[in-house]
């Protein structure tokens, strides 16, 4: 029997109590019906199927969402190339009820505990079955390229070189409202910054100041402290509290007023009015 979960980190309780659907896969119809009866109080669509189909539903859902994120990141690159505003593009596109606004937010790439393993698992499953899932393989590859695109934005603001640069980073977790860092896009971007010769001072609400995460990275206790002497501020996780940081204080602490907002969480007009050179995703 299979009863896959569809819980997001940071909102698992909400997702458990208010799921979009229940999926139950079993060889026995009687068992499937009995398990479905346990879910009756939730009053949501319930799909009764066989176990292989139930497992595939889980993988396909996450692979599709990963693909949607990669598509919107690619559109962000197109928006930058033609001078369009990605915010307006996704706002209008999302009003199409066939598409919706969910997972249409460009960013530094996807990571975490589900998308990386589920996309790779689906690729392996279908390969073993004799199907070449090149499209999903490309999704994984393009996601890796997105990390490098963020790094290039930092390099542009540093006149092409990361060597000996001091960089402030806000956000270490793979998304807000979780303390999960394995397979975090933020960590991968930081690795690439350090590999290029930069030194990083990082802040995340869930990570205490103390021992470095890796050579060249110092974790500090406040967002403002991370900015001390930085040549570029890089925002890698969309924590709401970053929206309310005193930008005048940030300017005074940075060596140069440069920002790469890879999560598009900051107020761009407010940044520009304070003299920041700004690079977002799709803006």
Please identify every residue annotated as catalytic: 114
* H or E, element range at 75: helix 51-82
* Cα 185 from Cα 204, distance rounded (Å): 14
What gap in Å lies between CA 100 and CA 97, rounded to an integer? 5
Stretch (H or E) spanning 99: none
Determine the 3-state secondary structure of 202 from DSSP.
strand
As to burial, measured by CB atoms within 10 angstroms (0-12 exposed, 13-18 middle, 19+ buried), residue 74 is middle
- CA 42/CA 82 separation, integer angstroms: 47
- Residues facing 3 on adjacent strands: none
Bridge-partner residues for 258, per DSSP?
277
Q: Which residues lie closer than 8 Å to 252 by C-beta, 6 or more apart?
A: none
């Amino acid at each position: 029997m299979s009863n896959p979960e569809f819980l997001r980190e940071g909102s698992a309780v909400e997702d458990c109590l208010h799921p979009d659907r229940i999926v139950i896969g079993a060889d026995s119809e009687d068992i499937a019906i009995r398990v479905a009866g346990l879910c009756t109080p939730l009053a949501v669509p319930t799909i009764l199927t066989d176990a292989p189909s139930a497992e595939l539903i889980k993988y396909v859902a996450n692979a599709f969402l990963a693909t949607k994120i990669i598509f919107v990141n690619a559109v962000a690159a197109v928006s930058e190339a033609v001078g369009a505003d990605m915010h307006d593009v996704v706002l209008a596109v999302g009003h199409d009820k066939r598409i919706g606004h969910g997972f249409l937010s460009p960013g530094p790439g996807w990571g975490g505990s589900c998308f990386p393993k589920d996309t790779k698992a689906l690729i392996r499953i279908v390969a073993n079955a004799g199907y070449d899932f090149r499209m999903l393989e490309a999704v994984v590859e393009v996601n890796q390229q997105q990390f490098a695109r963020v790094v290039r934005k930092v390099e542009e603001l540093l006149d092409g070189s990361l060597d000996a640069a001091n960089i402030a980073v806000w956000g270490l977790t793979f998304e807000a409202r979780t303390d999960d860092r394995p397979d975090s896009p933020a960590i991968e971007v930081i690795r690439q910054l350090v590999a290029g010769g930069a030194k990083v001072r990082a802040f995340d609400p869930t990570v205490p100041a103390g021992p470095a995460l890796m050579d060249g990275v110092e974790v500090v206790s406040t967002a403002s402290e991370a900015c001390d002497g930085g040549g570029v501020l890089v925002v890698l996780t969309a924590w709401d509290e970053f929206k309310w940081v005193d930008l005048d204080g940030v300017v005074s602490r940075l060596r140069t007023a440069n920002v790469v907002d890879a999560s598009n969480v900051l107020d761009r007009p407010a940044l520009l009015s304070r003299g920041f050179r700004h690079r977002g995703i799709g803006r």
